[in-house]
Chains A and B, each alone.
Chain A
Amino acid sequence: MAAHSRGHPAMRERGFSPAGTSPYWWIRPCAGPILFLSLLFLFLFTAAAASAAAPEEEKFTEELLLRPLPDRKALAHFHFRSSAPPAASVGRHHHIFPKAISQLVKKYHISELELSFTQGRWNYEQWGGFDPMSTNNAKPPGVELWAVFDLPLSEIDATWKNLTHTLSGLFCASINFLESSTAFSAPRWGFKLNEGNLRYGALPREAVCTENLTPWLKLLPCRDKAGIAFLLYRPSIYKGYYHSQKLKLRSSQSLGIILDQTLTVVLQPNTVSGEQLHSNHGQLQPNWSMRHLFNRKLSGKCLVSKSSRVFIEVDKSIVDNVNKSGSDLSWSNELFVLSNSPDKLIKGQNHVEIQSSFLYVYDASNYTEEKPLDVGITWKLPLVWTCTPSPFHASRFLMGSGNERGSIALSFMSTNLHKQISGSPTDCSIKAVIFQVVPWYVKVYYHSLEIFIDGSRKTVSEVVDKIHVIPSEDKLLPGTLEMLLRFPCSMQSGTLTLDFDKGFLHIDEYPPDANQGFDIPSALVSFPEFSSARSYPEIDPVLGSPLLEYFQEDSVVKSYTEVLLVPLTTPDFSMPYNVITFTCTVLALYFGSLLNALRRRIGEEERELKKTELVSM
């Protein structure tokens, strides 16, 4: 056994167990035909049993949503969903669902997991902060991982560590840096309400490139060879202003495992020339189509997918403008024309029953390689619109100078959204939840929290309803802050400040590019009273679009702040070498002179020298 395992480890691990098959030597004397017949009966039985007992099977759907953005860019959102029914009915065989994910879920007892790789910052002012797209797909830069485990609390930290290693191998990223306790935190209600089995970690400086997309695409049944994923031309994705690939897993006994993979990209269509990039008054928005965004056209669906659709979404403001101009929202109206006629039209509403968006649906199965789908939009009249923002624009910055101390400031600028939604009652208040994790070397003094509303200082108890702090411990834990605040609706600007001291790191703990500085991950600001869910009252539930289901899920309005870069004191890294050199020189000089003084007899040496001279003469 040991010879087998030592000699051929790779072979054994691939699931090939030659030793597990029954030895053939005692079957061989039996006749071949008997063996064949018995195998045939067995096969028929299992096929019958399987077909009788399998009401559910694995499903895969793919969807793409395209939307024009007010600042002359285009948003493309890919959504792939694979679902596997609960284990009892199907067993461990998968034919569409990626086995790597189901093994991950079973081994680590995950009930929910979300892993996102993001590059760029979501521009909340221009691209919206109130719709399901921005609340679910605007993620902090770098890697963000959170997971909810179905395990006793004492085992979760060890499982989290193993999970980070597995994910780092699966997605070619350094997610294993989240394994140490200084990198992750366990929020109770600031991020998501849980009973202590949630762990959250973020790596703001992680690079995101093709090597992260490659294994992500390998989880799809058609990879990037067919269907909607075929559009993913790497140079155009990574040239975008924002791209975020996300993997979301949900697993339960009743539903099985649902895997949602989404890729959100904000691109500049290559029809835009230089001087058109930023002017947005009096000029037509750029006309673009899928070919301009991706260099490719969609030539059919992935054959194993249950449905494959492309949506073009126009925002509330465009809808309002079209309605104002009197025409109806068909695919060819006074403001814009779509290049193909859609198969379906869907109206969306936000949570206050106002029509918020309009979707044109194209079914990719109607198109083939000879007749590919290249849907696009052509503008007829210049149009300027804005996307609905969140109630406050949240941003974060550093104050102070020097390498000893500083302050973190969180500022909220009102967007007067509440006036649009509910008139303007004067005694309302808007709740906001702040969740922030700060690494241990930025030692925040939570008692120094100061709150300013419209320039005047307020006491903390006036504004803060609930606060939960896990203070940082040097080299052990990061500092976690969860706060529930109540701002008056009439507030125009509010600021929170927290003082901190900068800590010292051991020389081994500095990264190789230490002079760049150290990152404080993004803070999350959510507004629990505002829901960003959409509803689509006219659609047939049988339409079965996971993207629309996703938009209909109840979720609060969220926004992430910027990542902060903190310069810490860096030592002179050549000092160890210098110290060793100086010390060795001093020691050499000291011991050398000492030994010389003790052992060397100058007089004797001279006499020896004279003697040898005499002898040699």
Chain B
Amino acid sequence: MAFGRRSPRSSRHPPALAIVTALLLAFLFSAAASSTDAMHNNNWAVLVCTSRFWFNYRHMANTLSLYRTVKRLGIPDERIILMLADDMACNPRNSYPAQVFNNENHQLNLYGDNVEVDYRGYEVTVENFLRVLTGRHESAVPRSKRVLSDEGSHILLYMTGHGGDEFLKFQDSEELQSHDLADAVKQMKEKHRFKELLIMVDTCQAATLFSQLQSPGVLAIGSSMKGENSYSHHLDSDIGVSVVDRFTYYTLAFFEKLNMYSNASLNSLFTSYNPSMLMSTAYYRMDLYERPLNEVPVTNFFGSVMKTLHTDSAYTGFLAAHDYATPLSVGDNLDDHFMLKDRSTPRRSNIEKEAQLTPHGWTEVLLEQLEGKNTDTVVMYGLGGMGILLALSTWLSM
């Protein structure tokens, strides 16, 4: 009897299952398709110095050198998160107050007149760093301390300090491990918080820090490989400590020759490192990155230069009718978000695809349901429902 009943049932259910899986696949494809179509429209920089105490002056100078470069090439303070674990410029041991140098000729004051440090002192912890990356802050945290990136962002993540095999030391009291970083990047990718990410690490055994990464769209370069140390460049006898590390010194030497309009490629940056000058091997991994490096200009990550196309048509919002092009005057301040509108056709289809996704069916219902309720009970109900579904399907498949 069981045999007799099995065949008609099993002949009925596979089509239902097939339909369900087909719908799921279609949904996933549309989701994936819409995310890869997002255009690059803003750049963010997260610059982290994890060392405290006066003898780690060079790590602060490294981070501030990158800060200066990134600001000079166009990224505004609103889109830079600068984390400095200690105060060197106004440190009582600094004989040049309010000045930080990265060279013993003291030609460049990295601190300048307009510095905005977002996380400083005791706030530079692994927890805050991961919160900045994943965007999971408490509600009171102000906007200037958040990375408000979206799926069209390119993010530059620069970390410097003392590190080792698969870890980076934060302020002598905790470590960030390579799998934590990979986890955070994975969360970022799932939440569409970046389109492309460049991780640059200047510590000892830096390449091990990004060895666990698996998210696509990530490019990473470290100043040394496993088993190698990264060295400081020179000692400033006036200040009394080393003022810059070798990897950052040569990175800066590369960037000081550039301005906002240069189109030097990432390939030229990555191949400019000479192992004998660095006394270590600068290792980069591009297996997760689709574009070839000689086609990517450095200003895609280190600066904020957008290609703007001037049109005369009127501006329309993103939710209103899709039939109008977005105007953009070249003199418009702030926002590289507003990409210009000869791309109206692919954008329209982009918007329509996006519009199809979210108002549809079960996500909105789910969000409404979640509004007032305790999330624990909802999760319980969900798990219970899944369990029942599982039991049902196993019974049916037997």
List chain A positions with a Cβ less than 8 A from chain B.
1-4, 6-11, 13-14, 17-19, 21, 23-25, 119, 161-162, 165-166, 168-170, 172-174, 176-177, 179, 206-211, 214-215, 224, 234-235, 237-239, 510-513, 573
Contact = CB atoms under 8 A, between A and B. Distances in A.
B389 to A, nearest CB: 27
A219 to B, nearest CB: 14
Contacts of A11: 335, 337-338
B113 A210 contact: yes
B112 interface: yes
A17 B320 CA distance: 11
B320 A165 contact: no
B150 A7 contact: yes
B117 interface: yes
B202 interface: no
Contacts of A215: 116
Interface string B107-135: 00001111111101111000000000000
Contact of A209 (B42, B89, B118, B319): B89
Interface stretch (B3-11, B141-149, B219-227, B251-259): B141-149
Contact of B90 (A8, A19, A238, A512): A238
A3 B357 contact: yes
A179 B115 contact: no
Interface residues of B, number: 58
B1 interface: no
B319 A1 contact: yes
Contact of B319 (A14, A19, A162): A19
Q: Which of A172, A224, A235, A239 has the most CB of B within 10 A?
A: A172
A25 B320 CA distance: 10
A18 B318 contact: yes
Contact of B142 (A9, A24, A119, A168): A168
20 contacts: A8-B150, A11-B338, A13-B143, A21-B317, A23-B320, A174-B120, A174-B122, A207-B87, A209-B89, A210-B90, A210-B98, A234-B111, A235-B96, A235-B97, A238-B98, A510-B173, A512-B173, A513-B52, A513-B172, A573-B173
A211 B121 contact: no
A215 B112 CA distance: 14
B369 interface: no
B188 to A, nearest CB: 14
B149 to A, nearest CB: 8
B345 interface: no
Given A14-B334, A210-B98, A512 B171 contact: yes
A3 B358 contact: yes
A2 B114 CA distance: 37
Contacts of B287: none
Contacts of B112: 210
B108 to A, nearest CB: 14
B99 interface: yes
Describe B's contact surface by its main secondary structure.
loop
Nearest to B146: A169
Listed from nearest, the 5 A-B pairs whose CB atoms lie closest are A18-B317, A169-B142, A207-B87, A209-B90, A238-B97
B122 A235 contact: no
Contact of A207 (B90, B113, B150): B90
Nearest to A173: B120
A166 B144 CA distance: 9
A456 B143 CA distance: 58
A165 B317 CA distance: 33
B196 interface: no
A25 to B, nearest CB: 6
Contacts of B151: 7
Contacts of B316: 18, 24
Given A119-B90, A239-B97, A8 B318 contact: yes
B141 A19 contact: no
Nearest to B318: A4
B142 A170 contact: yes
B319 A18 contact: yes
Interface string B145-185: 10011110000000000000000000111000000000000
Nearest to B87: A207
Contacts of B99: 235
Nearest to B119: A174
Contacts of B318: 4, 7-8, 18-19
Nearest to A239: B97
Nearest to A28: B314
B354 interface: yes
Nearest to A2: B358
B362 to A, nearest CB: 13
Contacts of B192: 6
B147 to A, nearest CB: 10
Given A9-B148, A10-B42, A209-B90, A214 B320 contact: no
Contacts of A19: 317-320
A209 B145 contact: no
A173 B118 CA distance: 8
B223 to A, nearest CB: 24
Contact of A512 (B98, B116, B172): B172
A169 to B, nearest CB: 3
A6 B320 CA distance: 16
A209 B123 CA distance: 16
B359 A161 contact: no
B19 interface: no
